[in-house]
């Protein structure tokens, strides 16, 4: 192995990949949330449909889509490799262990939370992304594919709304640990800035996930 592959297959190198891709995926969440806020516009979904049409056809967005996919792939792959390594690092478990005395629940269950998010992601992509890109969706009043209707109809089903709310709760806990943890892994700690990063990360995690969770609840209860 040369130095490059050696670096990024070391435990620290893989963690650095986890942190960079994790923060990149956080930036995606911001864009995704801001765009989706158009669902609340009182125009029967016309603006949202134009926006989703743009997201599906703009060449820059389509290129970034591939970068985004790679971000997910590396994040999930390294999580898988590291989790497997971590399991083999302790072949015999303790008979009695009290981890809650020394660490938070979310910091110890990033893999579990990530798996919940992955399952959600697959269902979410199938329902919206897949149908928007490859499905046959009828046009709205302006002749644009009416993805808005798909959203409204999806969120009439209680189990679908529940899935979204549970997944967003999992994402919130994943981010509460993950956001500040990424900075620690990148070595970006400082007496002046670390308290801000931790507070910002907490607020970011809660607000972003709350923003996403409001959408299915809004359409379930007010439509």
Partner 1 sequence: MAGSNPNAKPMDLTLKVWRQKDRNSPGQMVTYPLKGISPDMSFLEMLDVLNEDLLRKGEEPIAFDHDCREGICGMCSLFINGRAHGPERGTTTCQLHMRHFSHGETITIEPWRAAAFPVHKDLIVDRSAFDRIQQAGGYVSVNTGGVPDANEIPIPKSIADKAFDAATCIGCGACVAACKNASAMLFVSAKVSQLAMLPQGKTERKTRAENMVAQMDIEGFGACTNTGACAAECPVGISLENIAMLNREYMGAKLTSENVAS
Q: Given the rule CB under 8 A, which residues bind partner 1?
A: 1-3, 6-7, 10-16, 82, 85-86, 88-99, 101-104, 107-108, 110, 177, 181, 184-189
**Radius of gyration in angstroms for the set of CA atoms belonging to the chain, rounded to a whole number:** 20
Q: How far is the CB of 70 from partner 1 (least distance, A)?
A: 20
- CB 210 within 8 Å of CB 161: no
| Ramachandran region, residue 140 (left: φ > 0; alpha: ψ -120 to 50; beta: rest) | beta
The residues with which 145 forms a beta bridge, in sequence order, are 139
Q: How far is the CB of 213 from partner 1 (least distance, A)?
A: 26
Nearer to partner 1, 146 or 180 (CB): 180
Q: How far is the CB of 1 from partner 1 (least distance, A)?
A: 7
- CB 75 within 8 Å of CB 118: no
From the list 210, 203, 201, 130, the residue with the least C-alpha distance to 164 is 210
Roughly what angle, to the nearest 10 degrees, separates helices 158-185 and 110-124? 130
Q: Can you tell me the distance from the alpha carbon of 97 to that of 101, in angstroms, rounded to the nearest whole number? A: 10
Q: How far is the CB of 210 from partner 1 (least distance, A)?
A: 24
Q: Can you tell me the distance from the alpha carbon of 178 to that of 188, in angstroms, rounded to the nearest whole number? A: 14
Q: How far is the CB of 116 from partner 1 (least distance, A)?
A: 17
Q: How far is the CB of 7 from partner 1 (least distance, A)?
A: 4
Nearer to partner 1, 3 or 159 (CB): 3
- CB 144 within 8 Å of CB 157: no
């Amino acid at each position: 192995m040369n130095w490059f592959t050696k670096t990024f297959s070391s435990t620290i190198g893989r963690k650095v990949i986890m942190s960079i891709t994790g923060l990149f995926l956080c930036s995606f969440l911001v864009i995704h949330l801001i765009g989706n806020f158009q669902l609340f516009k009182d125009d029967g979904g016309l603006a949202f449909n134009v926006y989703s049409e743009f997201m599906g056809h703009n060449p820059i967005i389509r290129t970034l889509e591939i970068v985004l996919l790679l971000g997910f792939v590396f994040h999930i792959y390294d999580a898988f490799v590291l989790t497997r390594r971590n399991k083999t690092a302790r072949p015999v478990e303790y008979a009695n262990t009290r981890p809650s005395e020394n660490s938070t629940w979310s910091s110890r269950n990033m893999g579990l939370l990530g798996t919940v998010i992955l399952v959600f992601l697959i269902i979410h992509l199938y329902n919206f992304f897949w149908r928007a890109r490859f499905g046959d969706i009828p046009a709205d009043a302006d002749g644009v594919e009416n993805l808005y209707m798909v959203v409204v109809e999806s969120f009439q089903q209680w189990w679908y709304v529940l899935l979204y709310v549970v997944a967003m709760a999992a994402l919130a806990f994943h981010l509460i640990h993950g956001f500040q943890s990424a900075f620690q892994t990148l070595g970006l700690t400082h007496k002046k800035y670390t308290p801000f990063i931790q507070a910002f990360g907490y607020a970011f995690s809660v607000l972003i996930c709350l923003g996403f969770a409001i959408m299915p609840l809004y359409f379930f209860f007010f439509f």
